[in-house]
Chains A and B, each alone.
Chain A
């Protein structure tokens, strides 16, 4: 069996409200898995479960065939599952380089090693010129790229991107798409892409899962998702027109 990051019938309840209900999801390596769904469907909750930020009420997270139990986020990160956050969450008073460097230190590197790896990573992402800038003053898109660079420190096996294209123009989203493709090609990560930009998801994902009201209602190739009645139905009322145009 090829290595995957798997949610095995994961359920999460917040005080009676069921945010996720028996969700199964595989994130295989070297592939882009898309996760779409209307607002409040539970997408971020699922990412939180996969990265240890949220303990599931039922079910398990399985990393390369091994159950993770209740590991804290930083231990899961050390085992190769990295993520970005919807709102960047960089250390805004630190320089871009320091943001990556402190991540390297947190993952157990010595200072010098962390600094040189951080510089290499900035180079790889294509933002080496921003190294000395204070992270808080960066434009939106650069901030996202720094966040992705930070998540890629120490070569994680899985990368979970939570709405990385939110607020980006079409051109910026295209740049992001090519960065994600490079991550697959060169870093061999498994990527889970959560996005509202359905065009981007249909364009670059190998598989797409559709989450609605805490349940996976459909999954398959982009072509299959495009044709799916259920998906069309789920999006009715929320973004019916927009989806109609894209699908």
Chain B
């Protein structure tokens, strides 16, 4: 029983990370048909913002020293700001370009951010002690669960609920849903395109910052590459969920997280190093079974 509970929490917390990542990608894909491959680098940027720029091996903690009540909103604002800035400086110029062009622009932007960090901080991973006491386990029904996992899961649930309420209840949310489905049509009806897109970028960047904070607390290290693997899985989750569907992206994020943890447990010991191969095999099978993803939105079928 406790073992099952432990696996469940592992799965949920890993799934949470992927779900938050997938949501960040799906939000922007929704309004712009852009898969933003720079998303992973937003994550790294937010984490590096905790440190003072230096190429020394030892990290000089900067924002990271502030009390959490200031630190968390500040890092989230940095993520949102970077994301909005990249829309204004880069993506706005590709508004009418074809999706492949935008995607390549996002790769380029990702490299620019990564090498900017490389320049300021060098490529060496650095260690940072941010809320390390959160890794201490707490006892839930006899299972010892790291507090951070519980916090990660709760944060994700709160974010998801808040975002749902935002999309359902506010005028911005409604405009965003309409724009996500048919951007041209929404614009013709007078929906303020630039505001909606900037808001999507801000939300997406804020999610990247949240992921960054969780990752750095989990690992205790700061690394230029740290957003890459989450970004990759998150991208796969948006595809499996059905591009354009926010719910689909979130559910698929949790499914991939769950599958990863489950494989880790049930695979024979010799096969465990190849866990990811099994996960991706499951991804391929899913896509053969449902080429449009699990929750392809109705609108996706009309669009050719």
Contacts and interface: CB of A to CB of B under 8 A. Distances in A.
Interface string A122-158: 0000000000001011000000000000000000000
17 contacts: A53-B188, A74-B190, A91-B177, A91-B185, A91-B186, A92-B298, A93-B181, A93-B297, A93-B299, A98-B174, A102-B177, A102-B189, A102-B191, A106-B190, A107-B190, A108-B190, A114-B171
A77 B171 contact: no
Contacts of B188: 53, 73-74, 77
Contacts of A53: 188
A178 interface: no
A105 B181 contact: no
A93 B189 contact: no
Interface string B180-206: 011001111111000000000000000
B302 A92 contact: yes
Contact of B191 (A93, A98, A105, A134): A105
Interface residues of A, number: 25
B102 to A, nearest CB: 22
A111 B173 CA distance: 10
Contact of A92 (B170, B174, B181, B190): B181
A108 B124 CA distance: 52
Interface of A: 53, 73-74, 77-78, 89, 91-94, 98-99, 101-103, 105-108, 110-111, 114, 134, 136-137
Given A91-B182, A102-B175, A77 B190 contact: yes
Nearest to B192: A106
Contacts of A136: 298-299
Interface residues of B, number: 19
A110 B171 contact: yes
A74 B189 contact: yes
Contacts of A111: 170-171, 174
Give the top 10 A-B pairs by smallest Cβ distance, nearest first.
A106-B190, A136-B298, A74-B190, A111-B171, A106-B189, A102-B178, A73-B188, A92-B298, A106-B191, A91-B181
